[in-house]
Amino acid sequence: MLILAIESSCDETAVAVVKNKKEVLSSIVASQIDVHKEFGGVIPEVASRIHVENISYCVEQALTQANVTMEEIDAVAITQGPGLIGCLHVGVQAAKTLAFAYHKPLVPVHHLAGHIYANELVVDMKYPVLALVVSGGNSELVYMKNETSFEILGETQDDAIGEAYDKVARVLGLGYPGGPKIDKLAKEGNPICPLAKPKTQGKYDFSFSGLKSSVLQYVKRMERLGQTFEMADLAASFQECALDEIFDRVQKVLNDYPDIQHFVVGGGVSANSRLREKIEELKPKYPQVTFTVPPMSCCTDNAAMIGVAGTIAYMSGRRGDASLTADSGMEIQ
Ligand code: KG4
């Protein structure tokens, strides 16, 4: 089973060839970070245009590196959503064109399902699974009774955690993307700055926008009072509050759902070193649960994960046709 997978939901143009669900024959990622960091964040129109410029070359490279031809491919998997609509359109049009020109089945895939299934590249997932998806656009806790069922137990009520990292980094003048920069700076500081604890209504939901404002207010207050502070301490304080919010909910779910066999993480923020430490700290408390964090290369957006998700969707019979369009608010499936 050879799947050609395409991902273009945000600022990475990615194409991969995946064999038999787990073997990544090629994974091409053309990142646009250098362009967007000039603006301090992703500019959707600019991102779409760069996808148009990159997509054909990425497809060609993915096939060449995998040493396969389009004729040998069994199906074309594509991220249908969620994401930036103009960006998604570029990938969807490319996938439709390839599928119809070469008479291959088209398999629409959900971006977050891809982040979750990225763990399959490391280990066989054991169900029921609890998946924590933490990226620039999403923060969700998903319960999967089996390989193809997704129940959202909790989600952010405002900003995604990665978005909060990026906005706080902007306040601190650290540049884009902010996550890795705060991660690094926080190691040199202590979480001693008083910040407002996030408040949420749903038992397993998250909130990050109040925390982000609290960082801004802290900086303004210190400036007003003419007092200095260590940026590293503020970075560490923000990070600790944000991750406490996540891990408080994770533990609630693990306590309430004793049938969970496997805890997996996905999305760009799963590259965070403190998040990985916190997962290590959780392990002894839940000895019946297997904990998996995907390799760094699979945390941020890539098409190998879409190839895995595409294989699972293909096997379960999901198909797209000529009417398939990008869906920026797609529900997980
Ligand atoms: O999954 P991803 O590549 O794109 C989306 O689908 O959103 O995630 C990008 C996000 C950015 O917000 C970035 O700041 C964050 O992941 N990120 C991190 C780290 N590395 C990337 N956040 C915290 N710590 C990191 N080490």
Q: Is residue 324 part of a domain?
A: no
Q: Is residue 140 part of a domain?
A: yes
Structural contact between residues 80 and 324, judged by C-beta atoms closer than 8 angstroms: yes
**pLDDT at position 34:** 85
- Nearest atom in ligand 1 to the alpha carbon of residue 115 is 1
The reply to whether 158 and 274 lie within a common domain is yes
Q: Is residue 212 part of a domain?
A: yes
> For the domain that residue 195 is a member of, what is the CATH number?
3.30.420.40
- Nearest atom in ligand 1 to the alpha carbon of residue 274 is 24
3-62, pLDDT tens digit by residue? 999 999 998 999 999 999 999 999 999 988 888 888 877 889 999 999 999 999 999 999
What is the distance in A from the centroid of ligand 1 to the CA of 199?
23
Residue nearest to atom 14 of ligand 1 (CA): 179
Residue nearest to atom 10 of ligand 1 (CA): 136
Residue nearest to atom 3 of ligand 1 (CA): 300
**pLDDT at position 37:** 82
The reply to whether 266 and 139 lie within a common domain is yes
Q: Is residue 330 part of a domain?
A: no
Q: Is residue 91 part of a domain?
A: yes
The reply to whether 172 and 286 lie within a common domain is yes
Whole-model pTM: value is 0.93
**Encoded tokens for 77:** 């998997």
The reply to whether 305 and 246 lie within a common domain is no
Query: In the sheet that 23-31 helps form, which strands lie side by side, from edge to edge?
Result: 23-31, 12-19, 2-7, 75-81, 106-110
**pLDDT at position 12:** 93
Structural domain that includes position 25: 2-116+301-315
Structural contact between residues 65 and 95, judged by C-beta atoms closer than 8 angstroms: no
**pLDDT at position 199:** 84
Q: Is residue 24 part of a domain?
A: yes
The reply to whether 92 and 211 lie within a common domain is no
The reply to whether 225 and 130 lie within a common domain is yes
The reply to whether 97 and 145 lie within a common domain is no
Collect the ranges in the chain with pLDDT lower than 70: none
Residue nearest to atom 8 of ligand 1 (CA): 268
What is the distance in A from the centroid of ligand 1 to the CA of 91?
21
Query: In the sheet that 151-155 helps form, which strands lie side by side, from edge to edge?
Result: 151-155, 139-144, 129-134, 262-266, 290-292
What is the distance in A from the centroid of ligand 1 to the CA of 102?
35
Residue nearest to atom 16 of ligand 1 (CA): 268
Residues with CB under 6 A from ligand 1: 10, 135-137, 162, 165-166, 177-180, 183, 267-269, 271-272, 300-301
**pLDDT at position 287:** 97
Question: For the chain, how many structural domains are there in total?
Answer: 2
The reply to whether 19 and 76 lie within a common domain is yes
Q: Is residue 203 part of a domain?
A: yes
What is the distance in A from the centroid of ligand 1 to the CA of 60?
27
What is the distance in A from the centroid of ligand 1 to the CA of 178?
8
- Nearest atom in ligand 1 to the alpha carbon of residue 11 is 4
The reply to whether 184 and 58 lie within a common domain is no
Q: Is residue 237 part of a domain?
A: yes
The reply to whether 212 and 249 lie within a common domain is yes
**pLDDT at position 212:** 94
Asked if residue 128 has a cis previous peptide bond (ω within 30° of 0), the answer is yes
Scan for tokens 């990985």, then name that residue: 276
How far apart (Å, rounded) are the C-alpha atoms in residues 176 and 169? Answer: 7
- Which residue among 135, 156, 238 has the greatest number of ligand 1 atoms within 8 angstroms of its CB, and so is best to mutate? 135
What is the distance in A from the centroid of ligand 1 to the CA of 286?
27
The reply to whether 166 and 277 lie within a common domain is yes
What is the distance in A from the centroid of ligand 1 to the CA of 74?
32
The reply to whether 156 and 279 lie within a common domain is yes
Structural contact between residues 136 and 177, judged by C-beta atoms closer than 8 angstroms: yes
What is the distance in A from the centroid of ligand 1 to the CA of 300?
6
**pLDDT at position 2:** 98
**Encoded tokens for 331:** 């529900």
